[in-house]
């Protein structure tokens, strides 16, 4: 049974998340005091730094079965609250000791003033921590939400509820400008979003279900000079792009099964773990590739640019006309009338 995400107004999910997170910390600041919240602020800073190094120790069973989620920094995001919970126990003990120390050092007539000041500090620090934690959550969700929003499933029910919620949150973050404010907590490098834009072009163009359009786009993608080595030499990429009925990756693209299905493809996961492919793709100008897929023209690989770089000019790429080639073969070898032979030749070509 599909689960639908109800929209109340633009940006509603982001505002509701803000009220939940900020309200929790403000309430905590009211219930406790400024001293405890100050200690919690220090603990949050320590946990934030330490979680970047301890994220790799998060058990695989806690994360999704898909190993790609560690690259999104979700392991560090899970390590952060665990570290904060441990430090909170330490804070509780230190708070008791500090309270006793302050009580005996202050004059009795100043105790009421201290309680009042301590309460106000707790409320203020609670609000500050609430805002920072909201931005932290937004920063961690933005990379996943950006990809999910760019590559939605044709049938939303095919994507898990978590994907849809994150995609919805990202759209609301973006509409309110929160994604820019949360960028310091975004774990992904700058070229990640350029890579997602290219991936979204591939996903959406293959999902047109127009065979001629798909073949034209596939030809343009594989003809980009910066991808030639990877496209025709890397085994994983060859398997991903091979057109045959058993290619589950292409099937997921053409039917637009959604990001969750695409990322779970074993061949794609093997390609993502291939260090040689990483080196080849690292040399690709993603902005130039994006423009090339749009217009069929490259700023980097044109005759003028190649001449300025003293590099050999690229003449072009040829695509075999299989039907015409088979007809020429039939005319050249009229005795080869065995249907199995013709079928094997066509399949080979």
Average pLDDT over residues 35-58: 87
pLDDT band for position 42 (50/70/90)? very high
Is the pTM higher than 0.85? The answer reads: no
Average pLDDT over residues 205-217: 86
Q: What 3-state class would DSSP assign to 55?
A: helix
What's the pLDDT at 93? 83
pLDDT band for position 53 (50/70/90)? confident
The residues, any chain, with a CB within 8 Å of residue 229's CB and separated by 6 or more, are 280
pLDDT of 35 above 70: yes
The residues, any chain, with a CB within 8 Å of residue 61's CB and separated by 6 or more, are none
- Of residues 289 and 157, which shows the higher confidence score? 289
pLDDT band for position 62 (50/70/90)? low
pLDDT in tens, 230-289: 888 888 888 888 777 778 888 888 888 888 888 888 888 888 888 888 888 888 899 999
pLDDT band for position 138 (50/70/90)? very high
Q: What 3-state class would DSSP assign to 342?
A: helix
Q: Cα(90)–Cα(21) distance, rounded to whole angstroms?
A: 23
Q: What 3-state class would DSSP assign to 115?
A: helix
Residues 131 and 178: beta-carbon distance below 8 Å: no
pLDDT band for position 1 (50/70/90)? very low
pLDDT band for position 15 (50/70/90)? very high
Q: E strands of 24-143, at which residues?
A: none
Average pLDDT over residues 124-129: 93
What's the pLDDT at 297? 82
Q: Cα(163)–Cα(323) distance, rounded to whole angstroms?
A: 43
pLDDT in tens, 177-195: 999 999 999 888 878 899 9
What is the average pLDDT score of the chain? 83
Average pLDDT over residues 23-33: 90
pLDDT of 2 above 50: no
Tell me how far apart the 2 most distant CA atoms of the chain are, in Å: 113
What's the pLDDT at 235? 86
Q: What 3-state class would DSSP assign to 35?
A: helix
- Token couple for 183: 């960028």
């Amino acid at each position: 049974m599909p689960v639908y995400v109800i929209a109340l107004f633009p940006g509603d999910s982001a505002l509701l998340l803000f009220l939940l997170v900020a309200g929790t910390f403000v309430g905590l600041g009211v219930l406790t005091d400024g001293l405890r919240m100050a200690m919690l602020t220090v603990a949050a800073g320590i946990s934030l730094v330490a979680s970047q190094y301890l994220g790799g120790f998060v058990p695989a069973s806690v994360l999704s079965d898909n190993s790609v989620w560690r690259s999104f920094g979700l392991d560090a995001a899970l390590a952060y609250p665990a570290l904060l919970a441990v430090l909170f126990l330490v804070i509780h003990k230190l708070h008791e000791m500090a309270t006793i120390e302050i009580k005996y050092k202050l004059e009795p007539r100043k105790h009421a003033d201290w309680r009042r000041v301590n309460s106000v500090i707790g409320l203020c620090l609670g609000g500050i921590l609430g805002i920072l934690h909201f931005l932290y959550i937004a920063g961690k969700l933005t990379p996943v939400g950006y990809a999910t929003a760019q590559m939605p499933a044709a049938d939303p029910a095919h994507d898990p509820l978590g994907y849809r919620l994150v995609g919805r949150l990202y759209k609301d973050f973006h509409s309110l400008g929160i994604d820019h404010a949360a960028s310091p907590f975004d774990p992904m490098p700058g070229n990640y979003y350029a890579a997602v834009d290219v991936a979204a072009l591939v996903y959406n163009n293959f999902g047109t279900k127009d065979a001629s359009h798909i073949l034209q786009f596939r030809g343009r993608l594989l003809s980009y000079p910066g991808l030639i080595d990877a496209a025709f030499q890397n085994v994983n990429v060859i398997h991903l792009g091979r057109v045959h009925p058993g290619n589950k990756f292409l099937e997921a693209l053409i039917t637009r099964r959604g990001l969750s299905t695409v990322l779970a493809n074993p061949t794609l996961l093997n390609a993502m773990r291939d260090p040689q492919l990483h080196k080849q793709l690292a040399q690709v100008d993603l902005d130039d590739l994006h423009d090339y897929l749009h217009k069929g023209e490259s700023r980097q690989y044109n005759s003028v640019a190649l001449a300025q770089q003293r590099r050999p000019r690229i003449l072009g790429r040829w695509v075999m006309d299989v039907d015409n080639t088979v007809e020429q073969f039939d005319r050249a070898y009229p005795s080869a009338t065995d249907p199995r032979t013709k079928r094997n030749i066509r399949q080979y070509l």
